[in-house]
Amino acid sequence: MVRYILEILGDAIVQKEPCYEAPSTFESKLVSISIEKNIFDEFRRKYRIHMMSAGRIRVNVELTPNEDKESKYLTLSKPHFIGFVNSIDDIVLPNRVNTTL
C-alpha cells in the first residue's frame, strides 16, 4: 500500500451525504478526497478550528483509480483518483503545533 501526502484547501471542502469531499491533484490529475463526518468533527476538537476555515490542509491518503465515473458520492467531474481519509492522524495543518496533550 502506497500512501501520498496531498494538499487540500479548507474552503474547497463540500458537505455531501454521507461525507465531506475536497478536490486535490496528483501528478496533474484530478483527485477527490473523501472525509467522513466523524473525522471532520474530530478535526474541530483537535485543532479548535472548523476544517472549512483551516486554509491549507495536508492529508495522507491511499489513492485508488476512479473506475466508477458515475459514483453518487463524487462532486468533481470525473476525477482520475479517489482518496479516503481514514483517521484524524492522516490530517495535518502545516506550520501548526498540535493543541492536544
> Grid cell 474552503 — which residue?
11
Residue 26 region by backbone torsions, left for phi larger than 0, else alpha for psi between -120 and 50, else beta: beta
CATH of the domain at 21: 2.40.50.960
Domain annotation covers residue 27: yes
Q: Report which secondary-structure segment, H or E, holds 39.
A: helix 37-47
Domain annotation covers residue 101: no
Number of C-beta neighbours around residue 26 at 10 A: 15
Prediction pTM value: 0.79
Domain annotation covers residue 100: no
- The number of distinct structural domains making up the chain is 1
Give the structural domain span for 56: 3-92
Domain annotation covers residue 98: no
pLDDT one-digit tens code per residue, 27-36: 999 999 999 9
pLDDT one-digit tens code per residue, 5-15: 999 999 999 99
